[in-house]
Amino acid sequence: MKAQRRAVLIAGPTASGKSAMALARAQRGGGIIVNADAMQVYSGLRIITARPSAEDERLVEHRLYGMVSPATRFSTGQWLSAVAEVIADADPARELIFVGGTGLYFDALTRGFAEVPVIPDAVTAAVQAEIEGLDATARMQRLIAEDPQTAARLKVADPQRVIRALAVKRATGQPLSHFQQAHMPALLDGWAVERLVLAPDREVLRARITRRFETMFAQGAVEEVENLRAQNLDPSLPALKAIGVPEISDWLDGRTGREEAIALSIIATHQYAKRQRTWFRNRMSDWPRLDPL
């Protein structure tokens, strides 16, 4: 009888200790760590996106980290295609350890995913520029006007999900739900899957976020942003929206001071962690919780 393949899914907010837990698990069992973070796929941003260190990557096999140019808009569908290649290449006896903070990636792995046509970058960029600065209420009103089906399903008008829905509607003339009806099966169907959401104490997490970004700033985050800016990329690209990139850019351009750039980056990280916790609470409520700290 064919042995059942095994996967471990470690989700959690930024700075919650996911990578350390995944590394320890892989070292114990010989598993492969697979990136499930939408920003850590981009090359040249190891420090500012808190990717595993080069030393950690030498200790155990890591896949899908830093494998995409920051000049690319990398979609969930593309990530799933890359995961399918990892699954095909890996020894079936080895455990795959998916680790990251992008809830949609875990959702796609476990629930399946709707394949949406490739949307032109220009359409996505135009929508992003249009809703930038709008609050949640205004974003939801815009979505209701153009895609009421998707608006009815969203509990929170998350900017990226609103951008995605509006871009799909404008590029294809069809609401996002039209494509989601043709649901692809989950990649991990039939696997033995262990699920876990890291849920550290909020005040402890806030302190870790503060310390981590101050360390990032001192250990090369500024140089990474300088290198990214030197490529003269479209500012609407996801990599240029990574937390810390706009804040450090404003400092480099003289619009803010160094301490303000650090403070604003820390605030943005706290806000991101809050959005992550909301996603995990709404979409992964049945996953076991663990405070690793």
Amino acid at 154: L
Enclosing H/E stretch for 193: strand 192-198
Is 18 a known ligand-binding residue? yes
The reply to whether 169 sits in an annotated binding site is no
Known binding residue 274? Answer is no
> Do the annotations mark residue 175 as ligand-binding?
no
Tell whether residue 15 is among the known ligand binding residues.
Answer: yes
- Given phi > 0 = left and psi -120 to 50 = alpha, else beta, which region is 5? beta
Instruction: Find out whether 13 is annotated in a ligand binding site.
Output: yes
Which residues sit opposite 63 in a β-bridge? 34
Output the DSSP codes for the chain: -PPPPEEEEEE--TTSSHHHHHHHHHHHHT-EEEE--TTTTBTT-TTTTTPPPHHHHHHS-EESSS-B-TTS---HHHHHHHHHHHHHHS-TTSPEEEEES-HHHHHHHHH-EE-PPPPPHHHHHHHHHHHTT--HHHHHHHHHHH-HHHHHH-SS--HHHHHHHHHHHHHHSS-HHHHHTSEEPPTTTTSEEEEEEE---HHHHHHHHHHHHHHHHHTTHHHHHHHHHTT---TTSGGGGSTTHHHHHHHHTTSS-HHHHHHHHHHHHHHHHHHHHHHHHHH-TTS-EE---
Q: Say if CB 27 and CB 291 are below 8 A apart.
A: no
Give the CA distances from residue 42 to residues 56, 103, 166, 253, in Å, rounded to whole numbers and listed in that order. Answer: 18, 18, 25, 24
Read off the tokens for 106. Answer: 């875990």
> Residues annotated in the binding site for ATP, as ranges?
12-19
> Residues annotated in the binding site for substrate, as ranges?
14-19
